[in-house]
Amino acid sequence: MPVEERMGSIPDFLLQKLYVKGSLRNTASGFELTIQNTLAPGTIVSFPPLQVDGVEYSLENTSAVLPDGSKASALDVSAESPMRFGISDKVKIQVQGQPLTAGPHKLVISAKTREAGLLRIAATDTIS
């Protein structure tokens, strides 16, 4: 079965558990958030653009800080250069650009995996 046909094989309520609530925060160069694998080991082969409040953020300005502390551009993650996402691994997603306004924000974090296809994590978090 093609990967695209497997989208939706993981229930939304389980996907929401991948987002680390309270991790959304502004940084000196933009903002960041964290996801943690609470489901099963996986292999990320691409990161579609992150969305905050319906605004899509460019992959050129998005990077991931991996569990070992190394940093990878979202553009560098591919089927040829995948990212292992082991059980309990945390990945910090950083976006260069304008910080977010204080208050609640609707997030859509997506990752395409070899094992389960496109995962779409919808969450809400607040910046103080």
Domain ranges of the chain: 3-127
Model confidence at 96, pLDDT cuts 50, 70, 90, reads very high
Share of the chain above pLDDT 70, in %: 94
- CB-based contact 25:99 (threshold 8 Å): no
Q: Residue 4 pLDDT more than 60? A: no
Q: Residue 17 pLDDT more than 90? A: yes
Task: Give CA separation, 125 vs 42, 59, 88, in Å.
Answer: 25, 21, 21
Mean pLDDT (whole number) for 75-101: 95
Spell out a b/e string for 33-59, using b for 16 or more CB atoms within 10 Å of the CB, else e.
bbbbbebeebebbbbbbbbbeeeebeb
- Report the topology of domain 3-127: Immunoglobulin-like (2.60.40)
Q: What pTM did the predictor assign?
A: 0.89
User: Please, where are the H alpha helices in the chain?
Assistant: 12-15
pLDDT at 1: 36
Q: What distance separates the 2 farthest-apart alpha carbons in the chain?
A: 44
- Cα three-residue angle 85-46-49, rounded to 5 degrees: 115
| Rounded distance between C-alpha atoms, residue 85 and residue 79, angstroms | 14
Mean pLDDT of the chain: 91
Bridge partners for 52 per DSSP? 55, 107
Q: What is the pLDDT of residues 30-74, one digit of tens each?
A: 999 999 999 999 999 999 999 999 999 999 999 999 989 999 999
Model confidence at 6, pLDDT cuts 50, 70, 90, reads very low
Residue with tokens 């910090």: 92
Bridge partners for 109 per DSSP? 121
